[in-house]
Chains A and B, each alone.
Chain A
Amino acid sequence: MNHILAVFSPNHAVSRRVFALMVAVEILVFWAIWETVPSAMIPRPGQVTEAFGRLWMEEGLGHELVTSLLLNLEAICLTAAISLALAYLTVLPVVRPLVVAVSKGRFLGFIGLTFVFTMVFAGGHTLKLAMLVFGMTVFFVTSMADVIVRIPKENYDLARTLRMSTWRVVWEVVVLGTMDQAIEVLRQNAAMGWMMLTMVEGMVRSEGGIGMLLLNQNKHFQLAAVLAIQVTILCVGLAQDYAIGVLKSLLCPYAEMGKESR
């Protein structure tokens, strides 16, 4: 009884077993609502499963998924390299205006930029990659620059009292000291990548991809197929999120220490 009450108490820590039970119950409740929802427009779980089978066997969902996955991974790697380099270089006053300008790019609409990107990158894979990298970089740089601004002054002081050179301070305090947060920012932006990917693949249809498949199903009002693709993207996204989480706990085991357990 106490376990049940505990999940309704603010900031209460629950055991793994209770948490797993809670998740199972919530999934069951969601499933039940889905099965019994009165609207005939919303496909039932059985119809979605059936649509998934058809998409996989007849419309090459697996192949399109691999195409999208590889594109997203490539974009994540490029975004991380560009964004981290830019964010770390904010230690140089000369780079700060550039970083501020890149960060403001998040207010630019994606659709309006398609024309500019097509002019520069012609089309195909490179165009899609460039759009994705741009879309993620503006957010990644904003978050990482903020992480760097928030480094406590004491960390710099400690490095300086240990006679570290200016660049050694950057390596120790800025690069190593924010690694856990950099991976966390990467994790958030990698998730955003999947949101942008379907949009980009819808706009640039060469090479195919899961976004193109999604828009095709949407155009023909195949709602069960649309939901099946969305669930597939969700599952791949969750696996990607988990993998980055594992990477973070391996590289930065200290990251979760000292935080309140929930």
Chain B
Amino acid sequence: MSDLAYERKEVILRVADLSLAINGRKVLRDINFEVKDIVRPGCTQGQVLALLGPSGIGKTQLLRMLAGLQRPSTGTVTVTDKAIPVHPGMIGMVTQSYTLFGWRTVLGNLMTAARQAGLPTREAREKSLDLLRQFHLEPCRHLYPAQLSGGQRQRVAIAQQVLSGGHYLLMDEPFSGLDMLEEENVCKLIVGVSCADDLNTIIVVTHDVRAAATVADTILMLGQVRSADGKLLPGATICEKYDLIERNLAWHEQITTRPEFYDLMRELRAKFVSLAGP
């Protein structure tokens, strides 16, 4: 049990019976999960969910469906406590390659997002500059994306989605290709963004077990399961859920130094290896 007081309130994101087949090949099947608004007395607490799974299992396809960018073969994705069906623009997404508008400067990219969120030009500029300062990107404001490092691009992409004003953010492999220090910074950034508003919900898709366990309050493991007669069923599904709050492994400083964290890592690794196959 968590030693921190919290309460799970209403469902703010629900995925029901989601499946996807591409050219007749089943990629994802029977995906069901929900995210509830977590409330902690005396502090602002968002939600961070990590989707773990081996490479090529269909994680990115799942993200695109969650963002409303790809129509599922079956099932629904609804957001907010009013269960509104998702459509493009309701959920922000930072892709693995940190896609930005390459023809706009960093400031231009942020201002475009802010203007799209309905802010007048002057306010859009002020908010963009403010966020650039928060994300330590002010010296880069007149640079183009091609002139930025991978880490800088990632921060600009996150800032752009934050400015677009939604409470939901999907991140595809945010830890890939980062060194230990950069990974720590991205973890801090994710936690920082999630804690900026009670309703902020971040879904991180990754195959980095350690980073996922560091930032998330819940981990879902994606993989293929076997039928009763031992046959591998086509399409990946959620085969395990880890509630890190219940295990008292969420929201703590220096979480990675605790012995329970290493127990969880071992458990996750073992599951991951069994899913990745030979």
Complex contacts, A157 vs chain B, CB 8 Å: 64, 67, 69, 93, 95, 99
Q: How far is the CB of A253 from chain B (nearest CB, A)?
A: 7
Stretch of A52-60, A160-168, A197-205 on the interface side: A160-168
CB distance from A184 to the nearest CB of B (A): 14
Contact of A253 among B67, B93, B144 (CB under 8 A): B144
Shortest beta-carbon distance from A74 to chain B in Å: 29
Q: Are A161 and B103 in contact (CB under 8 A)?
A: no
B146/A161 in contact, CB under 8 A? no
**A252 located at the interface, meaning its Cβ lies under 8 Å from any Cβ of chain B in the complex:** yes
**A101 in contact (CB, < 8 A):** no
Determine how close the nearest CB of chain A comes to the CB of B168; give it in whole angstroms.
Answer: 10
Instruction: For B117, give the chain A residue with the smallest CB separation.
Output: A163
Stretch from B84-92, B205-213, B256-264 contacting the other chain: B84-92
Contact between A177 and B93, CB atoms less than 8 A apart: no
A162, B112: Cβ atoms closer than 8 Å? yes
- Which of these, A152, A155, A161, contacts B92 with CB under 8 Å? A161
Would you list which residues of chain A between 76 and 119 have a CB under 8 Å from chain B? none
With A and B bound together, what is the CA distance between A164 and B118 in angstroms? 11
Most A Cβ at <10 Å: residue of B101, B117, B144: B101
Cα–Cα, bound, A180→B102 (Å)? 11
Q: How large is the interface on A (under 10, 10 to 19, 20 to 34, 35 or more residues)?
A: 20 to 34
Establish whether residues A254 and B99, one from each chain, have CB atoms under 8 Å apart when the complex forms: no
Report A164-222 residues with CB < 8 Å from chain B CB: 164, 172, 176-177, 179-180
With known contacts A163-B116, A163-B164, A254-B146, A158–B89 Cβ distance under 8 A:
no
Does B44 interact with chain A (Cβ within 8 Å)? Answer: no
With A157-B64, A162-B113, A177-B103 as given contacts, are A258 and B146 in contact (CB-CB < 8 Å)?
A: yes
Query: A250 interface residue, CB < 8 Å from B?
Result: no
A257 part of interface (Cβ distance < 8 Å): yes
- Residues of B contacting A177 in the complex (Cβ-Cβ under 8 angstroms): 101-103
Contact check, B100 vs A161: say whether CB atoms are below 8 A apart: no
Grouping DSSP codes into helix (H, G, I), strand (E, B) and loop, the A interface class, with mixed when no group exceeds half, is: helix
Partner of B99, one of A154, A176, A179, A253: A154
In the complex, the chain A residue whose C-beta lies closest to that of B97 is A154
Measured between beta carbons, the chain A residues less than 8 angstroms from B99 are: 152, 154-155, 157-158
Separation in Å of the B237 CB from the closest CB of chain A?
24
B-side contacts of A179, CB under 8 Å: 103
Q: Does B160 contact A (CB under 8 A)?
A: yes
**CB–CB A172/B117 < 8 A:** no
CA gap between A155 and B69 in the complex, in Å: 12
Contact present for B112 and A161 (CB under 8 Å): no
B73-95 contacts to A (CB < 8 Å) = 88-89, 91-93, 95
Query: What distance in Å separates the Cβ of A17 from its nearest Cβ neighbour in chain B?
Result: 25
Does residue B147 face the partner (Cβ distance < 8 Å to A)?
Answer: yes
With both beta carbons as reference points, the residue of chain A lying nearest to B160 in the complex is identified as A162
The 23 sampled A-B contact pairs (Cβ below 8 Å) are A154-B95, A154-B97, A157-B64, A157-B67, A157-B93, A157-B99, A158-B101, A160-B69, A161-B88, A161-B89, A161-B92, A161-B164, A162-B112, A162-B116, A162-B160, A163-B89, A172-B112, A179-B103, A180-B103, A252-B103, A253-B144, A257-B146, A258-B146
Q: Which residues of A contact B (CB under 8 A)?
A: 152, 154-155, 157-158, 160-164, 172, 176-177, 179-180, 252-254, 257-258
Given contacts A157-B95, A158-B100, 18 further A-B contacts (CB under 8 A): A152-B99, A154-B97, A157-B69, A158-B95, A158-B99, A160-B88, A160-B89, A161-B92, A161-B93, A161-B161, A161-B164, A162-B113, A162-B116, A162-B164, A163-B116, A177-B102, A254-B144, A258-B147
